[in-house]
Each structure stands twice: as C-alpha cells, then as structure tokens.
Structure 1
Amino acid sequence: MKRAATVTAGLVLALTATAGTTAGTAAAATAAGPPLPDFTGKGLMTVFTTMDYRTKVEVRDASGYDRTVLWPSNWKVCSQHPAPGTDLGGRTLSLDVMKKGEKCPRKSVPDRPKNDR
C-alpha cells in the first residue's frame, strides 16, 4: 500500500510538472500521424525506439507457447496489425513476435478463446 501511494504521488508530480508543456502535443497525438512503418523481420527493440512513447503496443508470442517477452532485444517481429502504411489513429499496435534465430510461423497465431462461461 505504501509503495502504491509513493508511485501515485510521483506520477502526480510528474504529470503536474509536464502538464503545461504537453497540452499542445496531446492534440497532435490524436491527429493523423505518419504512416505505420513495416516492422516485419525487424527487432522488437526497433519498434520501441521508433514509435512514440504514447503508442500502446501489444506483444504476443507467435510460437503459440505463450512465452513472456522479458528482453525485447532478443525478439523479432513476425507480423503486425494494423498493416504497414496505414494510420495507427490511436489504435493499439499488435505484434506477433518470435525469439531471434527462430523461424516465424506462416500464419499468425489465432486468438485464444475467451472463457465467458
């Protein structure tokens, strides 16, 4: 509980300090941006250094083994959604990744069924 309060207080201070400088950039972030690059075959770290820090990125193990990505520099992009060249438009960038040195599957891994019952 104490840690959560400390993190929250630090976040509030950081947001307060930058609120005046980011007001104009928030409007620019929602406007149409440059076309999405093609990250297929590139290292996952390239994605994180290329995209704006406000971009939400979802990473999934394309092998189907549901491995967790701990070191982005050890992984490569197999497929992405939305497609390269389109406008991200505030949507989440979804990436299927494999460890470097492993072959990407021919098709992306289907979504796991949700247990709604």
Structure 2
Amino acid sequence: MRRAAAVGAGALLAFAAVAVTSAEERPETGTGTGTGAGDDTEKRTVPDFLGLGLWRVFTRLDRRTRLDVHDVSGRDRRVLWPSRWQVCTQYPEAGADLDRRTTVMIGVVRRGETCPPRVRTARR
C-alpha cells in the first residue's frame, strides 16, 4: 500500500510540473504568468478564482506568487489533491495589484460541498 501511495504522489508532482510549464509558455495579460527580464515592471493583477477548482489557481498564478490555501468548511482538513477542491474565498480580491510581497489566500471546500454562508459573504 505504501508503494502505491508513493507512486500516486510522484505522478501528481510530475503532472503539476508539466501543467505549470505549459502555463508559463502561454502568455496571458494581467495574470502574472509572463517570463523574462521585464517581469518586475509588468503590472500583474489577481485573477477571479471564486467558484473555480483549486487546480486553476495553481495554473493561473505565477510560480513565484506566495499562496496560502486552507479548508474553510470548519473541519480543518489538509488540502492535498488540488483537483478535489473548489475555491470559496480569495484575498486579495480579483483585480488587485499583485507584487512580490503579496500573499494570495485561498479558502476551499471539497468539490460537491457548498461554501459556508458566513464565508461566501465575508471578505477580509
């Protein structure tokens, strides 16, 4: 059983590396995915992630962006497989400027669960 778990985790990490590489090759304006010497002068903004799958967060944010992901269902679960979670909250809000010091905080629940009402309306 341990070997199967290790192989599964290794496959996920390999898939994540491929997805991030392909996302970097696609230039998107305003999402912070550009590469090159002019990145520091390029204005980057936070995309709108509400209602999307957590995997989209990883593929749309620049790899240098600090990211804090936590379960907002109140069960304090670990978020291990991004494809099984959906975004309920995000801070900063969509359209906010994104710089080196910004940490994007994402609140998630498992797919198929509804976002808690107190979380849906509250923004920090």
Q: What is the count of residue pairs matched by the alignment?
A: 86
AA aligned opposite 1:98:
V
Equivalent position to 1:92, from 86, 94, 103: 103
Structure 1 residue runs of 4+, over 4 Å off?
24-27
Q: How does 1:1-117 map to 2 (within 5 A)?
A: 25=36, 28=39, 30-31=40-41, 33-90=43-100, 91-108=102-119
- Secondary structure in structure 1 of the residue aligned to 2:119: coil
AA aligned opposite 2:103:
T
Report the CA distance between 1:61 and its aligned residue: 0.3
Q: TM-score, normalised by structure 1?
A: 0.65
* CA–CA separation in structure 2 for the residues paired with 1:45 and 1:55: 15
Distance 1:26 1:92, change over 3 A: farther
Unmatched 5+ residue regions in structure 1? 1-23, 111-117
Q: Which has the higher contact order (CA 8 A, sep 6+)?
A: 1
Q: What fraction of aligned residue pairs are identical, expressed as a percent?
A: 44
Report the CA distance between 1:26 and its aligned residue: 6.7
Q: TM-score, normalised by structure 2?
A: 0.62
Report the CA distance between 1:108 and its aligned residue: 2.8
